[in-house]
Amino acid sequence: MAGNDLVARWVRPEIQALSAYPVPDATGLVKLDAMENPWAWPESVRQEWAECARTLDVNRYPDPAAGALRAQLRAFDGIGAAHGLLLGNGSDEIIQMLAMAVGGPERTILAPEPSFVMYRMIATFAGMQYHGVPLQAEDFSLDPAAMLAAIEQTRPAIVFLAVPNNPTGNVFARAQIEQIAEAAPGLVVIDEAYRAFTDSTQLDMLDRFDNVLVMRTLSKLGLAGLRIGYLVGAPAWIEQFEKVRLPYNIGVLAQAAASFALSRAGMLSEQTALIRAERARLCAELDKLPVQVWPSEANFILIRLQGAAARDVFTRMRERGVLVKCLDGAHPHLAGCLRLTVGTPDENVAMLQALSASLGE
């Protein structure tokens, strides 16, 4: 058995200092903590998928290029031949591939904060520096002066901008994104994980900035269990990142299931349209409660509880059977905040009831 002294000697200190990414147990709860699409596949679609799965040979390695799926993703997002496309086991793995390709102890990943926590975590995994720049506290917009000063000071290898941002739900101003892309000496990766819930996209920036890449994922669209993320950009960049991609990173079942789902893209877009409609309804209902509500272009809503302690309300909501995300303590700007994933109409009713009952206590 490995003694603690051996572990302490060999595991890098910055890894020892981390705690593993926490995933709470949601058994039996209305699960509104992780921005999942709440709609399971109808029985008829499950039958068709089962027929399709029967034909798969899992004794063979997957197609390393995932050719069929790549073609469908290109068609789905209108990505032309001028752009390269890299597939990851979720966009988390793409962030990791980027860090491996450009990393080094003197190199920095920079991102506004609060934002997606994996930018910081993966910088640490890869032995890179990480620099967070606070967003404006009131509306979570970018602070351009602070961003430009931090870029000048740290000369980052990669700037990550989640647009819409998680956990705040807002879209950063286009002019400010462009200013950052102009000033950045390295890559600017625009993370469009919530593309399905907004009309805005920065994909066209690829044609004007040779340091910009756009990252997307099928997770929030409705396929979180399949782990498919992708990166779009100039072939010269993508060719290099392909070298650090593990050859069979997308398994046979994930490739086939994603292809199957994309051939029924209408089902997915109906679901995301319902989520957008529910988001509007939920915002209107939340506005009637004594909470601060930020506008959202994603499939979640950030709220701040006035007076009531967020952790207590979070716990009472869980006792009432509804799991949301408590962000109090995650960043100073998020004091008293909860993040509510938009669910089905029934789930949202349950969530609103649990929230208002928990506020009243």
Ligand X SMILES: *Cc1c(COP(=O)(O)O)cnc(C)c1O
Q: Give yes or no for residue 33 binding ligand X (CB under 6 A).
A: no
Q: How far is the CB of 119 from ligand X (least distance, A)?
A: 9
d(CA 9, CA 275): 49
Closer residue to ligand X in complex, CB, 91/198: 91
Q: How far is the CB of 90 from ligand X (least distance, A)?
A: 3
Distances (CA, A) of 59 to 88, 226, 248, 284: 22, 19, 13, 52
d(CA 145, CA 142): 9
Closer residue to ligand X in complex, CB, 191/278: 191
Strands (E), the chain: 30-31, 84-88, 108-113, 129-134, 158-162, 187-191, 212-217, 229-233, 291-293, 300-305, 322-323, 325-326, 337-341
Closer residue to ligand X in complex, CB, 62/229: 229
d(CA 283, CA 129): 38
Q: Give yes or no for residue 90 binding ligand X (CB under 6 A).
A: yes
Q: Give yes or no for residue 233 binding ligand X (CB under 6 A).
A: no
Q: How far is the CB of 191 from ligand X (least distance, A)?
A: 5
Q: Give yes or no for residue 231 binding ligand X (CB under 6 A).
A: no
Task: Tell me the per-residue interface mask from 169 to 198 with ligand X, x by CB under 6 A, - otherwise.
Answer: ----------------------x-x-----
Stretch that binds ligand X, among 16-24, 84-92, 201-209, 346-354 (CB under 6 A): 84-92
Within positions 298 to 317, which residues make up the interface with ligand X, using CB under 6 A? none
Q: Give yes or no for residue 72 binding ligand X (CB under 6 A).
A: no
Rounded to the nearest 10 degrees, how much is the dihedral formed by the CA atoms of 339, 116, 148, 196?
-80
Q: Give yes or no for residue 38 binding ligand X (CB under 6 A).
A: no
Options 37, 72, 91, 168; binder of ligand X; rule CB under 6 A:
91
Structure tokens at 352: 């609103």
Options 69, 99, 126, 162; binder of ligand X; rule CB under 6 A:
162
At residue 104's C-alpha, the angle toward residues 103 and 110, to 5°, is 60
Distances (CA, A) of 273 to 98, 117, 268: 32, 27, 9
Total of residues contacting ligand X (CB under 6 A): 13
At 240 the three-state DSSP class reads helix
Closer residue to ligand X in complex, CB, 193/262: 193
Please check whether residue 342 is in contact with residue 275, taking contact to mean a CB–CB distance below 8 angstroms. yes
Stretch that binds ligand X, among 77-85, 86-94, 270-278, 312-320 (CB under 6 A): 86-94
d(CA 161, CA 207): 18
What are the residues facing 213 on neighbouring strands?
189
Q: How far is the CB of 5 from ligand X (least distance, A)?
A: 35
Options 37, 168, 217, 358; binder of ligand X; rule CB under 6 A:
217
Options 33, 92, 113, 278; binder of ligand X; rule CB under 6 A:
92
Q: Give yes or no for residue 226 binding ligand X (CB under 6 A).
A: no
Stretch that binds ligand X, among 24-32, 44-52, 79-87, 89-97 (CB under 6 A): 89-97
Residue count (the chain): 361
d(CA 11, CA 27): 33
Closer residue to ligand X in complex, CB, 91/255: 91
Q: 60-88 burial, b if ≥16 CB within 10 A, otherwise e?
A: eebeeebeebbebbbeebebeeebbbbbb
**Contacting residues toward ligand X, per CB under 6 A:** 35, 90-92, 116, 162, 166, 191, 193, 217, 219, 224, 229
